[in-house]
A and B are shown apart, each in its own frame.
Chain A
Amino acid sequence: AQSVAQPEDQVNVAEGNPLTVKCTYSVSGNPYLFWYVQYPNRGLQFLLKYITGDNLVKGSYGFEAEFNKSQTSFHLKKPSALVSDSALYFCAVREGYSSASKIIFGSGTRLSIRP
């Protein structure tokens, strides 16, 4: 069965500094990986996805993620953090190309950017 882990409950970064939010996954087949962001009392918003190809994926709001097959990781990154990036971030994994494939979410990482 597939699983996804976000080892950090919270990440604190100063505005203007680079940020990394970690994610590791476990699947038996090809992984399809996603990052979502959630603001208070809102649903999740899609940031980016990895299907195949280039290991560095670019997404919304200046975020990017690096896929590393050997380490089974898909860390979210941004070169320069903004206070408005403060939110809850979820990594998700889908095992299988079928539309019936289940999508599993991690437990989330709260990102706090201080001015």
Chain B
Amino acid sequence: EAEVAQSPRYKITEKSQAVAFWCDPISGHATLYWYRQILGQGPELLVQFQDESVVDDSQLPKDRFSAERLKGVDSTLKIQPAELGDSAMYLCASSLGRGISPLHFGNGTRLTVT
């Protein structure tokens, strides 16, 4: 079964440093999501792409976070500068983007900011 690939799996960085996460969705999936999951809580949507266009980034802290999906395939989420409160699991998900198709999640990147 095809999977959503994410890297790195774990990342430790010092506050004020820059960090980037990469996601490769399932081939043919038009919709890509980045979620942040704080330990013990549900995933919170950061940004949603339809092909290469952003359709929702209302919860993305734009002063420090940026996301792109230039060719409508893989995507990068960047944080600059990282803050202690950014420590969380960052999950990427994709879906066909047609009808009510379920989300397929990657295994996430666990970020620790020290």
B62 contacts A by Cβ under 8 Å: no
In the complex, how many residues of chain B place their beta carbon closer than 8 angstroms to a beta carbon of chain A?
30
Mark each residue of chain A from 33 to 57: 1 if its CB lies under 8 Å from any CB of chain B, else 0. Answer: 0101000011111100101000000
A99 and B42 contact, CB distance less than 8 A? no
In Å, the complex CA distance between A1 and B58 comes to 13
Determine the distance from Cα of A49 to Cα of B101 in the docked complex, in whole angstroms: 9
Q: What is the distance, in angstroms, from B94's C-beta to the closest C-beta of chain A?
A: 11
Interface presence of B61 (CB below 8 A): no
B45 — which chain A residues lie within 8 A by C-beta?
102-104
In whole Å, how far is A53's beta carbon from the nearest beta carbon of chain B? 12
* Count of residues in A whose CB is under 8 Å from the partner chain: 23
Asked if A100 contacts B50 (CB within 8 A), the reply is: yes
Question: Whole-angstrom distance from the CB of B103 to the nearest CB of chain A?
Answer: 7
Query: Which B residues are in CB contact (< 8 Å) with A34?
Result: 102-103
Complex partner residue of A100 from B55, B100, B105, B107, CB under 8 angstroms: B55
- Contact status of A102 and B102, CB under 8 A, knowing A43-B93, A43-B107, A108-B41: no
- Alpha-carbon separation in the docked complex, A90 to B40 (Å): 11
Q: Whole-angstrom distance from the CB of A109 to the nearest CB of chain B?
A: 10
Cβ of B48 under 8 Å from chain A: yes
| A-chain residues with CB within 8 Å of residue B103 when the two chains form the complex | 34, 36, 44, 46, 103
| B binding-site residues for A, Cβ under 8 Å | 4, 30-31, 33, 35, 40-45, 48, 50, 55-56, 91, 93, 95, 97-100, 102-108, 110
